[in-house]
Amino acid sequence: GEDVEQSLFLSVREGDSSVINCTYTDSSSTYLYWYKQEPGAGLQLLTYIFSNMDMKQDQRLTVLLNKKDKHLSLRIADTQTGDSAIYFCAEKGFQKLVFGTGTRLLVSP
Amino acid sequence: DGGITQSPKYLFRKEGQNVTLSCEQNLNHDAMYWYRQDPGQGLRLIYYSQIVNDFQKGDIAEGYSVSREKKESFPLTVTSAQKNPTAFYLCASSSLATEAFFGQGTRLTVV
């Protein structure tokens, strides 16, 4: 079955780069997503990558996909205090949309 | 505006009551999902539906029920059989070719 894992916590200083990692198990996944959740709110889509791509860059965000190792990462360049939130990776297979446990990113000034 | 709407934002339930959470989308998406989020936890899938009049159980379906009579609507009923219903509930929709869009969530509290 599907299982998506993330580290629970990441702390960085403002201006540094943040790298959030995710591993997944469903090799049939067609899309892989990164979502951001601020306190008390729903999930906001940050970016996504098709399973046939290796990398996608979108302003400060870079997504890397290693299909062989089923590893996905999100790099946030020049991290700001406003980036503090929970970040979820998710995989979309044939039927289900499965989320990781979320990584809480804390950015200190 | 196109989007996905959950209501109410806050809901209080007495012990032994059934309550229904609403989820409506006007994005013409085929698939809809319900997730539960507990404090400091990730999202757990309750039910999902790929097409009208069809739905499947997710990982934690016990104590919940859903219907999918219309493409736009996927209401979730939290029954009295759900022993620990206090949580944040999130609804999402997607199509084969798009990412999933989320509502703003409903916070359910048992009083």
Min Cα–Cα distance to chain B from A14, Å: 23
Q: What is the DSSP letter of A53?
A: -
Across the A/B interface, how many CB contacts are shorter than 8 Å? 54
pLDDT number for residue B2? 67
Min Cα–Cα distance to chain B from A99, Å: 6
pLDDT higher than 90, residue B22:
yes
pLDDT number for residue B29? 93
In chain A, the residue whose alpha carbon lies closest to the alpha carbon of B57 is A96
Residue found by looking up tokens 């379906």 in the block: B61
Cα(B73)–Cα(A32) distance, integer angstroms: 25
Confidence of residue B96 (pLDDT cuts 50, 70, 90): confident
Residues of A in contact with B42 (CB under 8 A): 88, 99-102
In chain B, the residue whose alpha carbon lies closest to the alpha carbon of A6 is B42
Cα(B35)–Cα(B91) distance, integer angstroms: 6
